[in-house]
Structure formats: C-alpha cells, structure tokens
Amino acid sequence: MLQTPPKNVAIIGAGLAGMCLAIELHKRSIQSTIYELRNPTRLTAGALMLSPNAIRIMEDIGLYRRVKDQGYLFESIAFKDADEKTTGVYYLGHEKLYGYQCLRLHRQVLLDELKDILQETNIPIVYGKKFSSIISETSESVTFSFEDGTTATADMLTGADGIHSTVRRYIAPGTTANFSGLLALTCALQKKDVRFPSIEGEDEYHLPVAINGKPGQFVMAPQSTDGEELLAGTQIPYPEQDRAGWARLAADKDELLRLMRKDYERWPETVKSALDSVPKESMFDWPFYTMPKLRSWVSAEGRVVILGDAAHAVPPAAGQGASQAFEDAHTLAMLLERVLEKAGLQDALRFWNDKRQKRIDEVVKLTLKINNMRLPQEQREKLAEEDISLSDEGGQLAWLYGVDIGREFSDWVEERTAN
C-alpha cells in the first residue's frame, strides 16, 4: 500500500484538469508525465467562464496573473424578460463576497498559458500518444498501453481524458456519456452591431445578459478584454448524432446559423438584432452530454483515478465544468503530497472521492435550476417558482464561489496525521 507520495504519476490528457494536476504535483515535488492524443499545434475554439472558486486555484499555480489581462472580468449577469424588464441579477463573481470577480476568456489562451508553465517547469507532455488500456494494476504500480502498441509503467495513472474518457472504462466499465437532447449554438459577434435598447435608470445595458423569450433563453456575454466581442448563443432540442454526424454538423456553418435563427420571429428585438449580425464563420455548436453518477472515481488498488469531465461531466449551465476540473486537480495533488503513514492511499482517495462527489452533486442541482430558466416559455410556466428562480442576494452562493476548497482536505490530513 502506498504510504508515501507517488514518485511518478502518468496523466492521460493535456486538457485543463490534466495540465493543472501536473503543475499542482510539481509544486509538491511529485513528478508526472502527460500523454495527449492530439498534436501540440491543434487550436481550440470558444471561450470559458472561470468563477472565483477556479480563480483561487489558478492564483495558487501562477496562472491567474498570466491570463487575467487577456480576458473580460465581470461580476453579474442580468436576467431579462421578453420586454427587457430585468427580472434578476445573479452574481457569478464578486471581489467582496467571493474574493474574485468572474473571468471570461478564450480557451486557447488558458491552454497556451498552462502549456507555457509546463514548459518552464520541465514537465513533459508526450503528444500524439493515445492511451488505450490498463494492462495491470498491483498494489505497487500500474502498467498501461497506447494505441501505437507501446507500454509504460507508473506509480499512479490519472485519467483526465475528458467526457468520452477511455480510462473510465477501467474504473466504471460500460458507463458512457449520454446525450441530453440539447444542442448549444453560439457565435462571436461585435457589441457595436447589436441594437441594445436604452433602459430607464440604467446608464448602460447590463452585460452579460440572459434574455428569456418565447423560444428559450438567449445569452450575450463579453469575452474580449475590451468587452467589444460578445459570445452570443442559445440552446435548442436536437436529435443525437453519431461521431461523423456531429462532425458534419460542426463543419456546416450555414446549417448552424439556420438552426440558431430558426425561431427568429419569436425572439425579442434585441435578440433579433444579434441574430442579424452573426458572423457565420464564428458559429460553433456544443452538444450537451451528461454522465451518470459513478460509484467510484478510483480503482480497487487506488493506482488509477479519474478526474475532471472523465469523472463527472456536470451540465454546462452554471459554467462550472472547468472550475470543477481545477478543484479536482488541486485537491487530489494536496492529498497525494500528504499520503502519510496514518492516512494511506486508499483512505485518502476514498475521502477525496466522497468529498468531491458531494460537491459535484450540489453543482448539478444548481445547474439543473439554471437550465430550467433556459427553457421555452411554455415549459418554464409549468415549473414551480423555486425550480426556476435564482437569487444571489447576500452571497448565498458562497458555498460554491467563496470557499477555500483545499481547506477541508488539509484539515482532514492534519487530523489523520496528528498524534
């Protein structure tokens, strides 16, 4: 049984969870190697929202200072009805309440800066290496293979290989991600091209905004540093496709734009003006897949662990996928550093898995509520008020945004290791 920190950790996937974990382990003098199936020059589209719980961790690994001037900082999103009446203001970040504002930035910026940190700290990433399967796991080590026929051995293997994880097949055989039936359609447009109404009592139109219209909810959120480029998007019901079908749809910008405009006449004027100014090439789609709750994220011997989307693809509505991936990586590294005689690996991982799952459960509850708010009007009207209303006055979301997530893990280790 492992009672000292692992000496080398194999990380499958150079996404947000994998790279963050490698940096967190390096900080604690634990070596790791990342194996990534893609090549290093591949670019990723789209932008992400990072809330204070993620930013606290990004600060800790030296990432926040690198990216904060490359994105858009904000505190709240306004919810409006079809008549442009503000029905609520929801705080996604707040310096005073939660320690940080919220940051929206291009995913590629985040990935590039993470890669730079890895390079500066000499953490190896092996590109073009597709993990295939676990060959054997003992109480001492794990041996695994790649699709090119090569094998490797490490003290531990962590699967940060995303929602369609291959590592997960070893821990939870037969578990697959399920299509939610919803497809998000987004684009990047210029703020100057949207006709925002002037609203009495408001100096400036509140952005980000979520406008509830008859077809559902339409969101606009600044994502460039100067706030001039906006993400704009909505979600629609859509039939499941196979891999080739999704790829075809993603490449067909005309069809994506047609789908986004299909309820044009039923949207309020502000949304119509946004739909009029969509640069077609910026159209992007995101089929929402969810994952059933897993019994465990950890193998029987504790040498194989999954994290990030591989373990718990949370519904996207609260923008917590990346933030929870950062939390997983941060807390796992903390525990691995402190795997001491009195708190062996199995025990530590059981505690980690349990705590993380409980937090994910709460995030899922929150995102389902936000999702309800995005439904078409007829469906929203059938739901109870508490299932669609969200209030954040007084910082009720401090449990999500305001906590130092590492604290309870370090408290546990202190307790376990105290005489």
Ligand X SMILES: Cc1cc2nc3c(=O)[nH]c(=O)nc-3n(C[C@H](O)[C@H](O)[C@H](O)COP(=O)(O)OP(=O)(O)OC[C@H]3O[C@@H](n4cnc5c(N)ncnc54)[C@H](O)[C@@H]3O)c2cc1C
Shortest distance, CB of residue 35 to ligand X, whole angstroms?
A: 5
Residue 133 or 379: the one with the smaller Cβ distance to ligand X is 133
Which residues lie closer than 8 Å to 74 by C-beta, 6 or more apart?
92, 93, 101, 102, 104, 207, 208, 221, 222
Shortest distance, CB of residue 243 to ligand X, whole angstroms?
A: 13
The burial of 212, by beta-carbon neighbours within 10 Å (0-12 exposed, 13-18 middle, 19 or more buried), is given as: buried
Report the alpha-carbon distance of residue 334 to residue 356 in Å, rounded.
Answer: 13
Reference 397, options 92, 46, 75; nearest CA is 92
Residue at shortest CB range from ligand X: 15
- The footprint of ligand X (CB under 6 A) covers 12-18, 35-38, 46, 48-49, 130-131, 160-162, 166, 286, 308-310, 316, 319-323, 325
Report the alpha-carbon distance of residue 271 to residue 220 in Å, rounded.
Answer: 9
Residue 52 or 319: the one with the smaller Cβ distance to ligand X is 319
CA distances from 106 to 110, 228, 279, 360 (A): 7, 14, 17, 24
Shortest distance, CB of residue 163 to ligand X, whole angstroms?
A: 6
CA distances from 162 to 180, 235, 321, 327 (A): 17, 22, 11, 15
Residue 32 or 320: the one with the smaller Cβ distance to ligand X is 320
Q: In a 3-state reduction of DSSP, which class is residue 220?
A: strand
Residue 16 or 333: the one with the smaller Cβ distance to ligand X is 16
Residue 17 or 73: the one with the smaller Cβ distance to ligand X is 17
Shortest distance, CB of residue 180 to ligand X, whole angstroms?
A: 13
Report the alpha-carbon distance of residue 141 to residue 182 in Å, rounded.
Answer: 41
Shortest distance, CB of residue 323 to ligand X, whole angstroms?
A: 5
Residue 310 or 373: the one with the smaller Cβ distance to ligand X is 310
Cis-peptide, bond into residue 215, ω within 30° of zero: no
Shortest distance, CB of residue 165 to ligand X, whole angstroms?
A: 7
DSSP state of 173: T
